[in-house]
Each structure stands twice: as structure tokens, then as C-alpha cells.
Amino acid sequence: MISSVLGSVLGILHIVPLLYRSLFVIMACLLLIMILAWKSGWMNSLPWLALAFLSLFFFSAGDWRAEQVYLRFPTTLYGEKISFLATVHQLEVKRNWEIIHLIVTNISNSNRVQRAYFQAVWIPNREDRQPYQIGEQLQLEGTCFPDRISSKVKSTFPSNVLVQFLYPQYELQATLVQSLSMNPKRNLGVSILQKLQSLFYNNSPPAMRPQARILLAMLVGSQNLSKSEKNIFLTAGIPHVVSANGMNVKFLVQVLSLLEKWLLRFILVPVSIRIIALLCSVWIYTIICGSTASMVRYSLMETYRLSGVWVHRQPSSTVSFVLSSCFLIWICPSVAFSSSSLLSFAASYGIQKAVLFFPKRYSKKRIGRFRIMHYIYCSFLLDLFAELYIDPLCLELFGQWTPYALLSNLLLVPVLLWFLPVLYAWIGVCLLASIMPFFHSVAYGMGCILTKGTQQILQVISVFGNAPHAMMQLPSWPFYDLCAYYLALEWLFIILRKIFLSPR
């Protein structure tokens, strides 16, 4: 229901490409005016404007906007046979359906073969379901049905394959011809993932391969995890730990910042070079992890933050979140159909609300004395606000809910997140071991410790998964009740802000 509403609203914007471009530029300019700090002069705002128009130029020339502004679909007749070559971009499971997001690169009909670039959604039938991988190429062919109403599409779910576009709407009921082998040389992210996997396997005990896969999933996402391994984290209410999201980018930035401070003791590097190197590291890491919606949004937020550091300005995190989210939705509207992006947006919005209630009036002495209580309080706020926004969406999208999500996030997520800096250090030692064999024993010892620790944590996670009523099947909320819930939640937060955050 949510996806249909968002898709209908966003699909209207693609009727006239000129109107879409104009609205995109106007919205971007208005949001940039919000992010400018007017205490300084207009001349100091020029770097922000330059960054804005450069980003607009980059995205308008890139493939993300090309997928929706120019669908470049060949003229087809009703019931005409069409074949197309697509690449697996994202994988997700929604209720009992396996949904595969595709990037179509080549389409052909009886008239001609044409290069294209746009995103589509593929729902394979039982015969075509298999463990696909991101970057894998698929050859599909079927019958085209242009301009079908989206409400009628839902009744065709039990068919073979369904591919739908926003505007103009095309539905292709097709079958899988063949699954082409991946070419890692053409896919940078896939090749780096394969090298990381071999690096983890070579420096960990053979009996601990499942734990090594989970460590890799904590770092770059759950592309290589089996369904049973994903269900361990899902039933405990912490599937985001093994998925590529903005949290991974945040910890990467923190680790790189600590490394930068250490290197500055020995080497003096200009600020501009440090910022460019940090931004390149963030975006390369995002590409390696599959460029999920959450990672792209946080990378955009980090880009604006570092750009503000470059010009000695500190942008608002809330405004940066709104700006990056709007950019992402307008550049690639098809993310509105992804349940993972909706959940990520809801969690990030709840975290932005929770940050407003963090204590800010503690003295340094009191913070040092009550640091543990302060950390527990902030973690509880983050988890509570995120669950308030995520749980209704989980009921709407999946019909499932776990009552232990808040407790498992509060107890297990901080422990698992401490693994990330150690993982980065382990990768560094493994890379040194590939060059100098002397470090192989050190890397192997660290791999034994990390995999053994992961095994112990998995036993604790299984306690939450095996608890009674760990994953409850509940009816989804009506759409209007869901809207009323979020409006009431916003009204409650406004009252709480007036009570606790008003100046005294």
C-alpha cells in the first residue's frame, strides 16, 4: 500500500521531463537556501552554491537520473515478445516473495536492439528462484503489456515474472532464459567483495567459515549469507547489523578520522587533501557495498558535512538528512518501492529525533563521572525512537513483529559495533600478511579470536530467536491508521520538545 501510494505520487512527476527537471532544480535550490548560514556574508556562501550546482550537474549527467527521465524503452505493441539483459542490483524478501531489483542495460524486440539504462523489479516464480548474487547478469524474455494500472498488477503476483516501471508503466510477464556468469573485471564491487572473502577465509580457521561470513556481512552487507543465517538476526530483531547501511559508513568515517589524527603527528597534510581522501574512501566503500539507499543517503550527508568543514561552516544534521533524502528520492524514485529503504529512512528519522533529546548541559566533570550511564541513556533513546518508527512499517510490509527488538538492540548492537574497528584493523593486518608473510601468524591469530567471539555472540543471539513469541505474525495496519499513528507520534514529540527542551 505504501509503495503504491509513493509510486503513484512520484510517477506523476515523470509525465513531462521538462517539468521534472525544473522541479528538481527548484527544490534543490530551496533546500540549499535552508542549509546556508546567513550569519556570514553572501560571498562565504559561494562554495555551498558551487557544490550544489556541481552535484546537480553530476547527477543529471549520471545514470541515476537517466533511468527515470529517459526510459528509452522501444515502441512496443500489446502482447509483443521482448527480451532484455539485466544485472542484479539489490535483493530482498517481502513476505513469501523474493524480490530482485534489476538494472536493465539492453532491450530488444522484433524491430531492433537498443541500449538502455533503467531500474526494474523482478519477482521470480518458484522454478526460477535460486541464490542470485549482486552483479550477476540475467537474460529474460516475455510479453509486454504497456500502460497497465498498478492496482491490477498485484493480482498477477503468482505469475512467472513481473517487471514494472513508474511512468510510463510497462508490465512484462516473462521467464528466465539463462543466468549469465558474472564478470568481476566489469564490476568493481563484486571483484573487491570476492577478494575480501578470500582474505577472510585464508586468515581464519576452516571450521569457522560461517563466522567469517558473518564478519564479512557486518562489514559490507549480507550478500553472501544464507537464508538461515539471515533469519538468526531477523528473529532477534537486529537484521540491520548484517546489512550495508549508513551505520557502516559512520563507523568508517570515525575510524578514518582517528587514523588521520594519528598520522597528523608525523605528516602535515593540507585540509583539502584530507577531505578529498576521506570523501573518496566513503564513496568507494559505498560502491563496494552495493550502493544501498541508506549508504548513499549517509554518504551524501557526510559529503555536505565535510564540505562545510572545508569552508569552516557546520551544517545542520537535520537539514542535511532532509536534503540527502530528497536528493535520493528525486534522483532515483524507484527506491520508494524498496522495503529496506523505507525502513532505513524511518530508522534514520527516528535517530534524528532522538539526538534532540540528548543531554547537553552536563559539565565535563560530570560526564567523566557518569559516562557509562550517559552512554546507556543515549543508546536507549536511539533504539526506542528507531523502534517507534520502524515497528509499524514492519507490520505493514512483512506482517511480522518481535517484542525483543528493543532489548536485543540495546544489549547486542553496541557489542557488535565494537567489532567494526577491530575488523578494519584485521583487514589491514591481512593486507600486510599478503605482502609480508611475517604477519600471517598475527592475522591468523586475530581471525581465530574474532571468529570465536562471533560464535559466542551468535549463541546469545539465538537465545532471543528461540524465546517464546520471538517472531509474531500479526495483521498489517490499514493505511489510514498508519498515517494517524505517525501524525500522533509527531504531535507527541512536539509536546515533549516544548516540555523538556524549551529555554528556561
Write down the pLDDT at residue 112: 58
- Note the pLDDT tens digit of each residue in 78-97: 556 777 777 777 777 665 66
The pLDDT of residue 346 is above 60: yes
CATH number at residue 108: 2.40.50
Write down the pLDDT at residue 300: 82
The pLDDT of residue 40 is above 60: no
Residue with cell 509483443: 80
203 phi/psi in degrees, rounded to 5: -115, 30
pLDDT band, very low/low/confident/very high, at 142 (cuts 50, 70, 90):
confident
Does any domain span residue 191? yes
Does any domain span residue 162? yes
Write down the pLDDT at residue 438: 81
Does any domain span residue 499? no
Does any domain span residue 423? yes
15 and 58, same domain (yes or no): yes
User: What are the residues facing 171 on neighbouring strands?
Assistant: 145, 164
User: What are the residues facing 174 on neighbouring strands?
Assistant: 142
Write down the pLDDT at residue 16: 43
47 and 106, same domain (yes or no): no
172 and 85, same domain (yes or no): yes
Write down the pLDDT at residue 93: 67
Q: Alpha helix (H) ranges present in 111-245?
A: 150-153, 188-202, 209-220, 227-235
Residue 231, C-beta contacts closer than 8 angstroms, at least 6 positions apart: 465
Average per-residue pLDDT in the chain?
Answer: 69
Edge-first strand listing for the sheet containing 170-180: 113-122, 97-108, 81-94, 137-146, 170-180, 163-164
More confident call, 205 vs 356: 205
Write down the pLDDT at residue 369: 54
DSSP collapsed to 3 states, 307-356: HHHHCCCCCCHHHHHHHHHHHHHHHCHHHHHCHHHHHHHHHHHHHHHHHC
More confident call, 410 vs 500: 410
Write down the pLDDT at residue 402: 78
**CA nearest neighbour of 247 among 465, 389, 395, 416:** 416
Residue 452, C-beta contacts closer than 8 angstroms, at least 6 positions apart: 208, 211
User: What are the residues facing 137 on neighbouring strands?
Assistant: 87, 180
- Note the pLDDT tens digit of each residue in 284-304: 888 777 777 778 888 888 887
DSSP SS3 for 456: helix
DSSP SS3 for 366: helix
The pLDDT of residue 372 is above 60: yes
Q: Are strands 170-180 and 472-473 parallel, antiparallel or unpaired?
A: unpaired
Residue with cell 566489469: 186
Q: Is residue 117 a contact partner of residue 66, using CB atoms and an 8 Å limit?
A: yes
92 and 41, same domain (yes or no): no
19 and 95, same domain (yes or no): no
The count of structural domains within the chain is 3
27 and 89, same domain (yes or no): no
Transcribe 24-46 into DSSP letters: HHHHHHHHHHHHS-TTS-GGGGH
Least confident range from 63-77, 207-221, 416-430: namely 63-77
Write down the pLDDT at residue 72: 38
Write down the pLDDT at residue 82: 73
Transcribe 460-491 into DSSP letters: HHHHHHTSTTSSEE-PPPPHHHHHHHHHHHHH
**CA nearest neighbour of 106 among 83, 75, 123, 129:** 83
The pLDDT of residue 336 is above 80: no
- Note the pLDDT tens digit of each residue in 214-271: 888 888 877 677 777 777 787 777 777 787 777 777 777 777 777 777 777 777 777 7
Determine the residue type at 88: V
Q: Answer with the one of 182, 200, 229 that is the final residue of a domain.
A: 182
The pLDDT of residue 210 is above 50: yes
Per-residue pLDDT, averaged over 385-414, amounts to 78
For residue 25, the enclosing domain spans 2-69
87 and 127, same domain (yes or no): yes
The pLDDT of residue 63 is above 50: no
Write down the pLDDT at residue 172: 61
The rounded distance, in Å, linking the Cα atoms of 280 and 283 is: 5
85 and 163, same domain (yes or no): yes
Q: Is residue 91 a contact partner of residue 66, using CB atoms and an 8 Å limit?
A: no
More confident call, 67 vs 350: 350
C-alpha dist (Å) from residue 462 to 110, 404, 458, 467: 54, 12, 6, 8
207 and 132, same domain (yes or no): no
The rounded distance, in Å, linking the Cα atoms of 265 and 95 is: 53
Is 68 exposed, middle or buried, given 0-12, 13-18 or 19+ CB atoms closer than 10 A? buried
Q: Answer with the one of 165, 182, 199 that is the final residue of a domain.
A: 182
Torsion from C-alpha of 106, 108, 113, 118, nearest 10 degrees: -30
Does any domain span residue 114? yes
C-alpha dist (Å) from residue 464 to 177, 234, 274, 388: 42, 10, 43, 20
pLDDT band, very low/low/confident/very high, at 36 (cuts 50, 70, 90):
low
Does any domain span residue 360? no
C-alpha dist (Å) from residue 395 to 341, 343, 398, 477, 479: 15, 11, 6, 7, 11
Determine the residue type at 323: L
Does any domain span residue 38? yes
Q: DSSP assignment, residue 125?
A: -
The pLDDT of residue 2 is above 60: no
The rounded distance, in Å, linking the Cα atoms of 434 and 13 is: 52
The pLDDT of residue 467 is above 60: yes
Q: Answer with the one of 69, 93, 120 that is the final residue of a domain.
A: 69
Per-residue pLDDT, averaged over 395-424, amounts to 76
The pLDDT of residue 439 is above 60: yes
The rounded distance, in Å, linking the Cα atoms of 442 and 216 is: 19
178 and 199, same domain (yes or no): no
97 and 51, same domain (yes or no): no
Does any domain span residue 381? no
119 and 44, same domain (yes or no): no
Write down the pLDDT at residue 145: 59
Q: At what angle do helices 419-435 and 188-202 cross, to 10 degrees?
A: 90
Q: Is residue 276 a contact partner of residue 181, using CB atoms and an 8 Å limit?
A: no
DSSP collapsed to 3 states, 270-313: CHHHHHHHHHHHHHHHHHHCCCCHHHHHHHHHHHHHHHHHHCCC
The rounded distance, in Å, linking the Cα atoms of 31 and 52 is: 10
- Note the pLDDT tens digit of each residue in 161-197: 445 443 444 556 666 666 665 544 445 666 777 778 8
Q: Alpha helix (H) ranges present in 185-225?
A: 188-202, 209-220
Per-residue pLDDT, averaged over 416-441, amounts to 82
CA atoms within 13 A on the CB side of 137: 12
